[in-house]
Amino acid sequence: MKHASTATLDQLEPLLAQLRGLAGLTERRRGIFYRRSSAFLHFHEDPAGLFADVRGPDGDFDRLAATTAEDQAAVLAHVTDRLAAGG
């Protein structure tokens, strides 16, 4: 599974814009977000669709579908919950 291309990130731009508005996240490169000094969120693409990897409380990344508008809403909710949980 490869990291999201520029064209893929263009498709995700509405979600990226919402993520940029969340306190506690810094977009160091387009589509790659950090929380403090740690990588927190990035995107992948493959024939099965688009995916977001979000760092979980255990330090591992949780892979979430990000292809549809519903998927992207779920990604945003998951990220918001993770940020609110701290840690």
Instruction: In whole angstroms, give the CA distance from residue 71 to residue 51.
Output: 9
Q: How do the domains of the chain map onto residue ranges?
A: 2-85
Task: Taking residues 10-21, report their average pLDDT.
Answer: 97
What tokens does 81 get? 């919950």
**This prediction's pTM:** 0.94
Q: Is the pLDDT of residue 87 over 80?
A: no
In this predicted model, what pLDDT tens digit does every residue of 23-52 receive, in sequence order?
999 999 999 999 999 999 999 999 999 999
Q: Which residues does residue 51 pair with via DSSP β-bridges, in sequence order?
A: 44, 65
What tokens does 36 get? 């403090």
Residue 40 near residue 55 (C-beta atoms within 8 A) = yes
φ and ψ at residue 16, rounded to 5 degrees: -60, -40
In whole numbers, what is the pLDDT of the chain averaged over residues? 95
